[in-house]
Structure 1
Amino acid sequence: MGNQTGGAPVSDAPLHIAVLMGGWANEREVSLMSGNGVADALESKGHRTTRIDMGRDVAAKISEAQPDVVFNALHGVPGEDGSVQGMLDLMGIAYTHSGVATSVIAIDKQLTKLVLQPHGIPFPGGRIVSSEEIFERDPLARPYVLKPVNEGSSVGVAIVTDESNYGNPIGRDAAGPWQDFAELLAEPFIRGRELTTAVIDGPDGARALGVTELVIEHGFYDYEHKYTEGRTQHVCPAQIPPEIAALCEQYALKAHEVLGCKGTSRTDFRWDDEQGEDGLFVLETNTQPGMTPLSLVPEQARHAGITYPDLCDMIVREAIRVHAAKGAKATGGADG
């Protein structure tokens, strides 16, 4: 039987896991791939799963399923912004990945920057601009990047250069994120290389899994490159100087810790290799990285000796541990 009151087992016993996927965000199809992959992996470990496609009746479906724990395989809003996390907290159900406060901060790129920069984590400059503003003048010197403040998977990212077809200033009718978002984050374009580092929680604490370089023949690491097989080469481990790899792991671990991430996270970087250590910048930290066959966290885990089923199982066990600790603290049984 499932348990919604914090009494889910923390042993190695098989569990009943509701895998929450799909939804109505821009990343719905990726979430379905993640969720089904996770469910297959967990079943291979002997667990029982209930696959739930996120809808407005999601609370009723979870209550009916009575799971021991929910594996949150949603991407974007409302699965990654604290909404679903708050619902599950109110229901008293253990769930994977980060909690409400962390999710609210991390999905907002500008808020993430404000939280992490004081801890010595470097970000590109930039500011929030209105879409109306960019039709009058460039907010930054070209080249620069415009991106939605709270979308994942590089949804709606535009690189504005002197050679781009957007116009100068950007035309109202030009295709780009300004068509869909009233506000955008404008940042200087960092030339160089795309790097990423996954962090996973375990019994002995959080650890970085390594550094992957994303090599793209044309363009940048956008939604299509992320989820279309063959469009991007993953070099794992990245062929970069050891001091840069160490910095990536250090910054990713620090971001995971300061933001309060749980289960797993992935921090993305741009590195201007002509500038050495001064050319490394964090772009964002993902609290619910993709878990598709093409995804970076499973790939780095494999390189670290962790199979995909074991990775999914580790994330679930950590969720139960976190939930049990929260319950103990709430009743005065943890830290007094």
Structure 2
Amino acid sequence: MSPKTTPLRVAVLAGGDSEEREISLKSGQAVADALTETGHQVLQLDPAIVDVAGIDWSQFDVAFVALHGSFGEDGQVQHILDEAGVRYTGSGAVASRLAFSKSAAKEQFELFGVPTPAFTTIHYNDDLNEIRKKAEEIGYPLVVKPDTQGSSLGVSIVRNPAQLTGALRTCFQFDSVGIIEAMIEGTEWTVGLIDLQVLPAIKIETDRPFYDWQAKYEDNQTRYVFDSGVPADVVESLERVAWNACSAIGTSGLARVDLRLDAQNQAWVLEINTIPGFTDHSLLPKAAARVGIDFPVLCDRIVRSCLRKSITAHRHEVQLRPHVLLTPRERAHH
């Protein structure tokens, strides 16, 4: 057998004890089923039950990290796997930690010239009047969100000062640190990346006030649009900005970038998900299917891709990559 067809021993890490546990379990099951279908030997491991640091990793060729939220996306499990000398899917510990903190990621975006909405950080112990002043400086409407949380948990759109206190209460249920961010009126988009390949941009349409938890996981009326009617050069700019956002953070393997497109067709990066959903209904798999990569092939490609890295590659990832304002097509020729 060639390396491209040799079955691998894969540990699928899913579950955990974050707020996104149930979504992670669904992702992990879908990945395990897909990898089994493509001939791999698969064992599912739940860090809420099994001590990841205590696993005999010599019995596995690779770990597929399908842990959403804390411990999975914040660099903790990546650090453990690095110490154990395990190859694993996705970004390394540094990039994961940067992306998981919205404020840290946005600081990187600003440093590298990636457009992101104006923001300020807040803490649950901050004086309410000081927070109100910060909100006024950002300007209404604005968004209040936890600094480290996914799936839109704890996020509120605040259109006037009277709504601020309730939004802060919601935010601080999920994190002691939050951000106040300028609201970008416009349309919601997401762009997935696999290695050096930028997948087609998806426009997200919902009848809800914004793309919240219910719109993502419960509302069957949420629409995911490829043929949006938006000019090709605008879509290309979305993909360019998504690429540059990932370059600024230093992601690897795979990622999904969430953006807003304003009335002037300017793309604004909201955040990067280093471990996007992996069910066959999730956005990155939808984009991969659009270019002919079905779900089992996608999962197989992801595990084989990380094997091309040396075991120490994640440990020594460069934190700050050179920033290049190139399209994916231009980048491929450099």
Q: Please tell me the TM-score bracket, short chain as reference.
A: 0.7 to 0.9
Residue 265 (structure 2) aligns with: 276
> Does structure 1 residue 253 correspond to structure 2 residue 258?
no
Residue 235 (structure 1) aligns with: 225
> Does structure 1 residue 303 correspond to structure 2 residue 290?
yes
Corresponding letter in the other structure for 2:78: Q
Q: Secondary structure at the match of 2:134?
A: coil
Work out the CA distance in 1 between the residues paired with 2:58 and 2:217: 31
Q: Secondary structure at the match of 1:152?
A: coil
Work out the CA distance in 1 between the residues paired with 2:33 and 2:88: 18
Structure 1 residues 169, 112: closer, same or farther in 2, change over 3 A?
closer
Residue 134 (structure 2) aligns with: 139
Q: Contact (CA 8 Å) 1:210, 1:237: kept in 2 or not?
A: no
Residue 4 (structure 1) aligns with: none
Residue 34 (structure 1) aligns with: 27
Q: Contact (CA 8 Å) 2:147, 2:177: kept in 1 or not?
A: yes
Alignment RMSD, CA only?
A: 2.4
| Alpha-carbon shift at residue 263 of structure 1 (Å) | 1.5
Q: Contact (CA 8 Å) 2:16, 2:46: kept in 1 or not?
A: yes
Work out the CA distance in 1 between the residues paired with 2:166 and 2:205: 31
Unaligned runs of 5+ in 2: 318-334
The match for 1:79 among 38, 50, 72 is 72
The match for 2:10 among 14, 17, 38 is 17
TM-score normalized by structure 2? 0.86
Cα displacement string for residues 172-194 of structure 1 (whole angstroms, at most 9, x for unaligned residues): 9x851134433210011111100
Cα displacement string for residues 106-165 of structure 1 (whole angstroms, at most 9, x for unaligned residues): 111111111122322100001001235474325322211000111111111011123xxx
Unaligned runs of 5+ in 1: 1-8, 331-336
Work out the CA distance in 1 between the residues paired with 2:127 and 2:228: 36
Q: Contact (CA 8 Å) 1:134, 1:170: kept in 2 or not?
A: no
TM-score normalized by structure 1? 0.86
Give the percent of matched residue pairs that are identical in Structure 1 and Structure 2.
Answer: 37
> Does structure 1 residue 226 correspond to structure 2 residue 216?
yes
Cα displacement string for residues 266-313 of structure 1 (whole angstroms, at most 9, x for unaligned residues): 1111111x2233xx2100111111112321000000001101011101
Work out the CA distance in 2 between the residues paired with 1:77 and 1:290: 14
Work out the CA distance in 1 between the residues paired with 2:228 and 2:58: 42
| Alpha-carbon shift at residue 71 of structure 1 (Å) | 0.2
Residue 5 (structure 1) aligns with: none
> Does structure 1 residue 182 correspond to structure 2 residue 176?
yes
Structure 1 residues 218, 55: closer, same or farther in 2, change over 3 A?
closer
Corresponding letter in the other structure for 1:117: E
| Alpha-carbon shift at residue 318 of structure 1 (Å) | 1.1
